[in-house]
Amino acid sequence: MNEPVDETGLLVGRVQAGDRQAFRVFIEKYKRLVAAIVFRMVYNAADREELSQEIFLKIFENIKDFQGSAKISSWIGRIASNTCINHLRKKRLPLFADVSAAGQTLENVAGDSLTPECLNEQDDSHRNLQREINRLPAHHRLILTLFHFSEMNYDEIGKALKLPAGTVKSHLFRARQKLRERLLPAAREEA
């Protein structure tokens, strides 16, 4: 997600001043990023909508504290991931176990929340990838999303999740390794 500095800085400044119209533009601009994080972490459709709203409310309350030292997308990623982690803890859902191992079902996962355009465009390999990502433990899914979608680096992810950068790196490697192992037989079958 490339961010032209001047435009984004102006928008953030207006939101900090309490401009509601500017905040509407801000929501439209970053709701995909928030959705990517929330939908990866939370399976219940009603909870997703509620959590996404809660994240943007927190952003509005705390944006005055944003100094501009980091990218705004990283700052949003941090708020979104902490909100999701707190939600999972409150619901006593596991953060570190595979979905299949924890006995959870994959109801209300990505498949029924995709835009029609995306459903048409996606091929089988992409759907397989999304399915396998959803099977990973919550913390792996989160770190993968923050790294590849929010474009945060190891240090930024570590600060957001209160983990050392080395631990973030090792989680990332392990998550990708699992995906490769699970997807490779499927890729060979397609070939």
Which chain residues interact with another protein by CB under 8 A? 18, 20, 23-24, 27-28, 31-32, 35-36, 38-40, 48-49, 52-53, 56-57, 60, 110, 113-115, 117-119, 122, 125-126, 129-130, 133, 144, 147-149, 154, 169, 172-173, 176-177, 179-180, 183
Residues 136-155, buried b or exposed e (16+ Cβ, 10 A)? Answer: bbbbbbbbbbbbebbbbebe
Nearer to another protein, 95 or 114 (CB): 114
C-alpha 151/C-alpha 164 separation (Å) is 18
Closer CB to another protein, 4 or 92, in the complex: 4
Q: How far is the CB of 185 from another protein (least distance, A)?
A: 14
Residue 7 or 49: which CB sits closer to another protein? 49
Least distance from another protein to the Cβ atom of residue 130, Å: 6
Name the minimum Å distance from CB 90 to another protein: 20
Q: State the nearest-atom distance from the C-beta of 48 to another protein, in Å.
A: 8
Rg (CA), the chain: 17
Place of tokens 């970053």: 30
Nearer to another protein, 29 or 66 (CB): 29
**HEC readout, 31-100:** HHHHHHHHHHHCCCHHHHHHHHHHHHHHHHHHHHHCCCCCCHHHHHHHHHHHHHHHHHHHCCCCCCCCCC
